[in-house]
Amino acid sequence: MPDHSSIERLQTTVVLAISADGKIADFRRSPARFSSAADRTHLEKQIALADGILFGAGTLRAYGTTLRVSNPELLQSRQQQGLPPQPVQIVASPSGNLNSQLRFFSQDVPRWLLTTEVGAKPWNTHESFERILIVPTSKGKIDWRDAFQQLTDLGIGRLGVLGGGELVASLVATDLIDEFWLTVCPLILGGAVAPTPVAGDGFLANVAPRLELLGVETIEQEVFLHYRVLRSTLSGAVSSLSSGTVPAPTI
């Protein structure tokens, strides 16, 4: 069973908008700007609850920008809690291959980079990132337990995870996601190559991570789903997958 003892303070919540057919972007992997103003308000609220916001380089490349907290009530609430106005925006990019001309780099937000020794090189002389965290990788994949330990040591207690599918898949597979917020939006994107909330190799249904529905709200045409990841079943699924033993299906 995975060991959570050293990183139990870090709480992770994935926040994504999906089409009614479960895609997070169209087949061109365009930025997902298909949700309503109500969803953007919801997203900003979730961002305002976090100490740090984590996203993959693919998401940054698609959007070129991030969402800042700008609602005065949310800013006031953060101030009352002794939090800085903006959570830290943390980009996961082992390659470090990011365009420094992206608008993200001129937004008034604190920025950290999660990368490798090689990926850090182009950024060491830049002031674009306040902090560069070097994380171990195996076959190009980030060691999330090490990364989360570093984030915890740096005072990140609540982490909002804003995608994309590759990043979320690796965190689910490492049993490091606590909650999901999924906004189901009224459109069909279709396409075999259009990304979904969780990419990666996938799980067999009989060992797939299970969720508990914490809440559901409908605002006009969108449905806001709030789930908690059931830790015990996920641990079983992850350890089954990593050991290569898949339990016999129950019929």
User: What residues line the site for ligand NAP (CB under 6 A)?
Assistant: 16-17, 24-25, 29, 31-32, 55-59, 62, 92-95, 97, 140-142, 162-167, 170, 195, 199
Q: How far is the CB of 31 from ligand NAP (least distance, A)?
A: 5
Q: Which residue's CB is nearer to ligand NAP, number 69 or number 120?
A: 120
- DSSP 8-class letter at 82: T
* Beta strand extents in the chain (DSSP E only): 11-19, 52-56, 88-92, 111-115, 131-134, 137-138, 141-142, 158-161, 179-185, 211-219, 222-229
Q: Which residue's CB is nearer to ligand NAP, number 84 or number 202?
A: 202
Residues 146, 168: Cα–Cα separation, whole Å = 16
Closest CA to 156 of 65, 88, 220: 88
Residues 108, 70: Cα–Cα separation, whole Å = 11
Q: How far is the CB of 167 from ligand NAP (least distance, A)?
A: 4
Closest CA to 170 of 139, 205, 135, 144: 144
Q: Which residue's CB is nearer to ligand NAP, number 77 or number 137?
A: 137
Q: How far is the CB of 249 from ligand NAP (least distance, A)?
A: 29
- Phi/psi for 119 (5° steps) reads -65, -25
Q: Which residue's CB is nearer to ligand NAP, number 86 or number 170?
A: 170
CB 110 within 8 A of CB 66: no
Q: How far is the CB of 133 from ligand NAP (least distance, A)?
A: 13
Q: Which residue's CB is nearer to ligand NAP, number 13 or number 93?
A: 93
Q: How far is the CB of 248 from ligand NAP (least distance, A)?
A: 30
Residue nearest to ligand NAP (CB): 164
Q: How far is the CB of 150 from ligand NAP (least distance, A)?
A: 15
CB 79 within 8 A of CB 223: no
Q: Which residue's CB is nearer to ligand NAP, number 2 or number 94?
A: 94
b/e per residue, 157-176, with b = 16+ CB within 10 A? ebbbbbbbbbbbbbbbbbbb
* Cis, bond preceding 164 (omega within 30 deg of 0): yes
Q: Which residue's CB is nearer to ligand NAP, number 52 or number 58?
A: 58
Q: How far is the CB of 53 from ligand NAP (least distance, A)?
A: 11
Dihedral over alpha carbons 176, 177, 178, 182 (to 10 degrees): 180
